[in-house]
Amino acid sequence: MITKRNLLTAAAALALGTGFASAQDCTPKHEFTTVTPGVLTVAVTTYAPHSYLDESGVMKGIDGDIAAEFAKRECLEVKAIAVDPAAAIQYVLSGQADISTGDWYRTAERAKVMNLSAPLYTDQMGIYSKDGFKTVADMEGKKVGTVQGYLWVSDLKTVLGDNLTLYPGSVNMQQDLKLGRIDIGVDGYSTGVVAEQQGALGDIQVHVGAPDERVRATMEAAQAGLPYNKSATDLGVALDAAIAEMHADGTIVAILKSYGLDGTAADVGEPRLIE
């Protein structure tokens, strides 16, 4: 049941393992409802560096840190639930979670069934190569691989034709790139940063793709947001206000940089939906 979080009782606070006095000492900036009073319940998918639980069960990742900061500013405890990506949205729709983390694209189709927070960051297109290529022009005349499902796939097909190979996942593409079966790989920039940090790419470099009018995703990258229930309009107001503050005070840039990204993904532009 969704109830007013400012009706949190001393018994509920004790059940959360927190002191009731400390909950009273914190003044939330907004009034809104949550699945459990005094708690932000988050359906956490595993998709590093955006969303995961650490070994102690603490919510982490770029989305996770933003959600945790929102909870802190609104005097909420965090309850993180590990979920499969296929089930995460249903957790929110069914009222089992307030929001979900996991680099969720702000799409027009998704917006039909649920609300989406203001943009957190953009999911930038990354160019992977041993030569440090950074542009779409660098790809012309070379063997290029990319992962199915990304926004840039159809545009790259137009530009590269038969020189573009599609892969079902990042690992397959990275293997072929390391073996020299393709010259360049195109995947999410953040995915590449994680792979670099784990030493999985060897001498392969990853750079954000430079803007090129032929590939829309380099001009307007997909924006990520936090999905929440259609009925939770007050929660949405609070989320959007907190996200605006975190953009203005540099919190989101700092979070991006803490995961090895350069921070430019925080330049989201005006809110937009992927059609």
**Buried-exposed string 37-54: b where 16+ CB fall within 10 A, e elsewhere:** bbbbbbbbbebbbbbbbe
What is 125-219's CATH number, 3.40.50.1970, 1.10.645.10, 3.40.50.720, 3.40.190.10?
3.40.190.10
Spatial contact of 30 and 74, defined as CB atoms under 8 Å apart: yes
Mean pLDDT, rounded, for 20-24: 42
Span 3-122+223-266 CATH architecture: 3-Layer(aba) Sandwich (3.40)
Q: Are 263 and 253 in contact (CB under 8 A)?
A: yes
Strands 121-123 and 3-4: unpaired
25: how many CB neighbours lie within 10 A of its CB? 9
- Mean pLDDT throughout 30-42? 97
| CA separation for the pair 123, 121 (Å, rounded) | 7
Percent of the chain with pLDDT over 70: 91
Quick one: what percent of the chain has pLDDT higher than 90?
A: 87
State whether residue 188 is helix, strand or coil: strand
Q: Where along the chain do the CATH 3.40.190.10 domains lie? A: 3-122+223-266, 125-219
DSSP-derived 3-state class of residue 180: coil
* Lateral strand order in the sheet of 227-228: 77-82, 39-44, 99-101, 227-228, 115-116
Give Cα 186 distance to the centre of its chain.
18
Query: What confidence category does residue 24 fall into, taking pLDDT thresholds of 50, 70 and 90?
Result: low
| Burial of 65: CB neighbours in 10 Å, binned 0-12, 13-18, 19+ | buried
Note the pTM of the prediction, 2 decimals: 0.84
pLDDT at 2: 39
pLDDT tier at 275 (50, 70, 90 boundaries)? confident
Q: What is the pLDDT, as a whole number, of residue 256?
A: 97
Could you tell me the pLDDT band of residue 179, with boundaries at 50, 70 and 90?
very high
- One-letter amino acid at 66 equals I
Nearest to 129 by CA among 46, 31, 196, 212: 196
**DSSP states along 27-79:** --SS--EESBTTEEEEEE--BTTTBEE-TTS-EEHHHHHHHHHHHHHTT-EEE
Cis bond upstream, residue 168 (ω within 30): no
> Measured between alpha carbons, how far is 203 from 6 in angstroms, rounded to an integer?
54
- Residues forming a β-bridge with 146: 166, 186
Confidence label for 12 from pLDDT (cuts 50, 70 and 90): very low
Q: Which residues contact 232 (CB under 8 A, 6 or more apart)?
A: 2, 32, 33, 98, 115
Arithmetic mean of pLDDT, 127-146: 98
Handedness of CA 101, 107, 110, 112 (dihedral sign): positive
Crossing angle between the packed helical segments 251-258 and 61-73, to the nearest 10 degrees: 140
